[in-house]
């Protein structure tokens, strides 16, 4: 359940239209698997594919923005951010900024059969997507001296903090922890911490805690790498669904070895957002069975299953589970 109202969705004849942006690396293969899975469970979703990759083409960003503004919803693969090219602005960041997709929501849950540092993790990470380290304002004032400017504003801190508390209340979560670096960035992160702490008083049913980011990272651990977790981006009007970590998996392209879990879960998140809860549940249960009871694990989580084996097992499970929902 999400706080706040969002824009209208494109729905004609009982079917939703969503924008699909395959992106770079394994994105195109993964979007293909999502489309197959949606087809097998008769999810009422039409995909409108638009291309946006790191290879710059004049105007394609405008086309993507136009499509997302029309449909209200998109699912995307990641776009290479080209570390080695300082002049190249990350198109993922550009897209989030242009659509003002200010809230990034990532649900980390342990899968019992997948080895992880901690058991029973169930954490929702809520992150501001548009300012702070994402300001992207840098210049080399003289050779060898770089200034990186991190901008934070009361307005946007309040917006994301409010979102976190409202999310906690709506979803019955116990505690909100503000993760910060206010021990060093006393003004910027200090403001964030102060606002989060003050706002906690308005939510007496939610416990407040705070943690320095280094400590939080160490305590949280991982739930098993880039192939497992999905991530959602929300603005006031639009929603974009993608994988939780922004990897492209370029080295895995065409090998049928990538873990499709993160992408399939992004598809499930999107179905829930569209109100297609039955289809979301069927896919989610079917994938869970494939990963746990049936042990279809790709290489990244210690198995030898192929991508298509995970997808096919999920489809078989769906066909068995579907009648229960009819």
Q: Which does 108 bind (CB under 5 to 8 A by kind): Mg ion, ligand ADP, none?
A: none
Give the range of 35-43, 132-140, 160-168, 242-250 binding ligand ADP by CB under 6 A. 242-250
Interface with ligand ADP in residues 195-224 (CB under 6 A): none
Q: Is 287 in the site for ligand ADP (CB under 6 A)?
A: no
> How many beta carbons lie within 10 A of that of residue 191, not counting itself?
17
Cβ-closest position to Mg ion: 248
Spell out the residues 6+ positions from residue 126 whose beta carbon is closer than 8 angstroms to its own. 103, 104, 105, 106, 160, 163, 164, 167
241-280 mask for Mg ion (x: CB under 5 A)? -------x-x------------------------------
Q: Is 251 in the site for ligand ADP (CB under 6 A)?
A: yes
Residue 79 or 315: which CB sits closer to Mg ion? 79
Spell out the residues 6+ positions from residue 232 whose beta carbon is closer than 8 angstroms to its own. 104, 105, 106, 239, 240, 241, 242, 266, 269, 273
| Residue of 48, 114, 49, 57 lying closest to 310 (CA atoms) | 114
Total number of residues binding ligand ADP (CB under 6 A)?
14
Q: What is the largest CA-CA distance in the chain?
A: 67
Residue 82 or 277: which CB sits closer to Mg ion? 82
Helix orientation angle between 277-291 and 261-273, rounded to the nearest 10 degrees: 160
Q: Which does 251 bind (CB under 5 to 8 A by kind): ligand ADP, Mg ion, none?
A: ligand ADP
Name residue, tokens 């394609």: 60
Q: Is 227 in the site for ligand ADP (CB under 6 A)?
A: yes
Binds ligand ADP (CB under 6 A): choice among 54, 104, 247, 284: 247
Residue 81 or 210: which CB sits closer to ligand ADP? 81
Query: What is d(CA 281, CA 285) in angstroms, rounded to the nearest whole number?
Result: 6
264 touches 41 (CB < 8 A):
no
Tokens found for residue 206: 């939610």
Query: What is d(CA 161, CA 176) in angstroms, rounded to the nearest whole number?
Result: 9
Q: Is 250 in the site for ligand ADP (CB under 6 A)?
A: yes
In whole angstroms, the minimum distance from the beta carbon of 299 to ligand ADP comes to: 7
Residue 240 or 262: which CB sits closer to ligand ADP? 262
Total number of residues binding Mg ion (CB under 5 A)?
2
131 touches 153 (CB < 8 A):
yes
Q: Which does 54 bind (CB under 5 to 8 A by kind): Mg ion, ligand ADP, none?
A: none
Residue 7 is given by DSSP the state: P
Please give the residue ranges that form the binding site for Mg ion (CB under 5 A). Answer: 248, 250
Please give the residue ranges that form the binding site for ligand ADP (CB under 6 A). Answer: 25-26, 226-227, 247-252, 258-259, 262, 300
């Amino acid at each position: 359940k999400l706080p706040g109202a969002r824009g209208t969705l494109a729905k004609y004849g009982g079917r939703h239209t969503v924008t699909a942006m395959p992106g770079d690396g394994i994105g195109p293969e993964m979007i293909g698997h999502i489309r197959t899975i949606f087809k097998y469970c008769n999810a009422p979703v039409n995909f409108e594919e638009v291309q946006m990759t790191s290879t710059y083409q004049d105007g394609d960003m405008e086309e993507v923005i136009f499509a997302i503004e029309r449909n209200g919803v998109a699912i995307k693969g990641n776009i290479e951010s080209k570390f080695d090219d300082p002049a190249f602005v990350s198109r993922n960041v550009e897209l989030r900024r242009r659509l003002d997709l200010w809230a990034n929501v990532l649900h980390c849950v342990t899968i019992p059969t997948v080895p992880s540092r901690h058991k029973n993790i169930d954490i929702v990470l809520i992150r501001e997507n548009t300012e702070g380290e994402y300001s992207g304002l840098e210049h080399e004032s003289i050779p060898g001296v770089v200034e990186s400017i991190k901008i934070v504003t009361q307005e946007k801190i309040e917006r994301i903090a409010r979102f976190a508390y409202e999310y906690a209340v709506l979803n019955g979560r116990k505690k909100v922890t503000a993760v910060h670096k206010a021990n060093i960035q006393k003004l910027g992160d200090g403001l964030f911490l102060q606002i989060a702490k003050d706002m906690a008083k308005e939510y007496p049913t939610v416990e407040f805690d705070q943690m320095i980011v280094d400590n939080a990272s160490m305590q949280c651990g991982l739930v098993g790498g880039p192939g497992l977790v999905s991530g959602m981006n929300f603005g006031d009007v639009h929603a974009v669904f993608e994988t939780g970590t922004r990897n492209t998996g370029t080295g895995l392209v065409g090998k049928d070895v990538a873990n499709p879990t993160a992408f399939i879960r992004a598809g499930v998140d999107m179905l829930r957002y569209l109100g297609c809860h039955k289809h979301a549940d069927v896919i989610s249960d079917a994938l869970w069975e494939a990963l746990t009871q049936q042990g279809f694990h790709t290489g990244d989580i210690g198995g030898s299953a192929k991508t298509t084996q995970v997808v096919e097992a999920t489809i078989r499970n769906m066909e068995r589970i579907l009648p229960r929902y009819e």
